[in-house]
Structure 1
Amino acid sequence: MSLNVDDLAASINFFTTHLGFHESVAATGFVTLTRPDSADIVLVARGSRMLPGSVREQRPAGVMVYFGISDVVAEYERLRREGVPIAAPLREEPWGERLFQLTDPNGIVIQFVEWVPPAGA
């Protein structure tokens, strides 16, 4: 997954400080972030010449980075203790999805989900 961001340093800091990623590849205008239990995330500075001209100035819109985890309540509490702004508070959907959402400094929505038995099951 590759995302264009206005403030590369802010997103790098957010993903490494709060979400357990580390930089695996970095150069002027981009970074690849890695976490052993997740797909890599590539962040590219918007306007970078490494991007095709047709997408060079685009910002992510309607993009949600999704993490399926085994204890969403513990992750929610940890992030709240760290002072990370919660965009959508912890909730449980009737079909068996327990989730919450964050938004990184560049507006990337990050959703944490744990699948639980549906209500009434």
Structure 2
Amino acid sequence: MRVNRVLVNLPVADIETSKTFYTDFLGLSSEEFNLGWVARFTSPETGANVQLVTRDATAPEDSAFSVQVDDVEAAYDDAQRRGYEIVHPLTREPWGVYRFFVRTPDGTVVNVAQHA
């Protein structure tokens, strides 16, 4: 498994209310996607980004950050082999992501994902 990208998931009460701060003030002007409960805003010039999350749509817990990998099935197998707690099973989500949630030894929940 190779990690391609790590994104912090910032908890917010409402994406639309928070959006202006990140887009207008910080200049993260490109809305990569917005599903209503999760949205990513990026600066086209620098590639800096932020992912805002109100509450995960399908997982029982929210994740602190997301890790995009090249082989999510290998990552899932490795996490299980190591005995890490799987919080959300390997799932093909309707919005085009194949992912699972795993709890780190210190209790942090991580979204491990591969884009289909």
TM-score band, normalised by shorter chain: 0.3 to 0.5
Larger Rg: 1
Structure 1 or 2: more strand by fraction: 2
Structure-2-length-normalised TM-score: 0.44
